[in-house]
Amino acid sequence: MLTLAVMLLGVLAGRFFPAAHKSKNEKLQLACTLLLIFAMGVSLGGSGRFFSGLAFIGGQSLLFCLVPTAGSIAAVYLLSRRFMDGGAPGAEQGPKRAVPAAGDPMVFLAAGSLAAGLAGGAWSVSAAYLVPLSAYSDGLLLLLMLSVGVSVGMRRGLPAIIRHYHVKILVIPAGIIAGSLAGGALLALVTDWPLGPALSVAGGLGWYSLSGAAVSRLAGPEIGSIAFLASLLRELFSFFLIPFLARGLNGWTAIAPAAATSEDTTLPMLIRYTNEETAVFAVVNGILCSAAVPVILPLCY
């Protein structure tokens, strides 16, 4: 809730933010995003859980990342084409499409930041200095949310956008949740997973800290570890999927892989590759998906 409050503060500030400094604010978002990805890598590399988990249950985690994510993407794309006025906010905007997604340096910068963080956290010499720095990631996230709020607030006519779409603003989270659960059901069908645990793991929606702990209590530590890694991988893959989906499909569909993280960590990528109108939907989607996760996990199990 604090991150949302800080973002709303940024939205208010954005109403008075000089347009001449918009590029500086975007550079701040880029720096904060890369530092957060780096800090995430440091934490994972330093804990050892990531590498040991990948060695033991990596294949299952990858399956429960890819299939539910693909289900979300398919569902949101189909629903957006049917209900969201063609479903392409920002897709025609030249500046956002100036660099082909496959050649955009942001994709490589994000991958490099993650790899550097993992290496730095895993190497004991650098980890002694870097792991304590990751404790400041919460403050960095708040700064990022303030900057993102400014970007959203600089866009005029947002209340009119919400009034225009009305209940359609629920279409995106509904598609993400339905697609993710459908992916979990499909995995239960083609593997030896029971339906309940499969749906619970797929229902983490990228919220790895909650899903890992909650599923561990429901189904034991092994399945809880799969839930943790599956949601973590979903968040990480979102950074790389968003540019391709925004370019190849539409802005609405770019929200789908992010799921519950679309209100915070992946929001700057959505703004970068779509527009501030899509950011409004991303924030609402993140709130609704986050609220749904604690209900989905025990209900499905």
* pLDDT of amino acid 47: 65
Q: Is the dihedral of CA 263, 266, 272, 278 positive or negative?
A: negative
pLDDT attached to residue 5: 80
Are 202 and 65 spatial neighbours (Cβ–Cβ below 8 Å)?
A: no
Output the pLDDT for position 192.
Answer: 86
Region 144-155 average pLDDT: 76
Token pair for residue 287?
């709130």
pLDDT tens readout for residues 66-125: 999 999 999 999 999 888 764 444 443 333 433 344 445 665 776 788 788 888 877 777
User: Which position has the token pair 């429960």?
Assistant: 64
For the whole model, what pTM was predicted?
0.71
Q: Closest Cα partner for 201 from 73, 105, 83, 60?
A: 60
pLDDT, position 94 = 33
Contact between residue 148 and residue 275 where contact means Cβ atoms under 8 Å apart? no
Q: What pLDDT is stored for residue 134 in this prediction?
A: 66
Number of folded domains in the chain? 1
The mean predicted confidence, pLDDT, of the chain is 80
Interval 23-36: pLDDT, tens: 888 888 788 878 87
Range of the domain at 49: 2-300
Secondary structure class of 179 (helix, strand, coil): helix
Widest CA span in the chain? 58
Task: Kindly tell me if the per-residue pLDDT of 267 is higher than 60.
Answer: yes
* % pLDDT > 90, the chain: 22
Cβ contacts of 236 within 8 Å, gap of 6 or more: 40, 114
Helix (H, G, I), strand (E, B) or coil at 43: helix
Query: What pLDDT sits at residue 216?
Result: 75
Average pLDDT over residues 147-163: 70
Between 191 and 85, where is the model more confident?
191
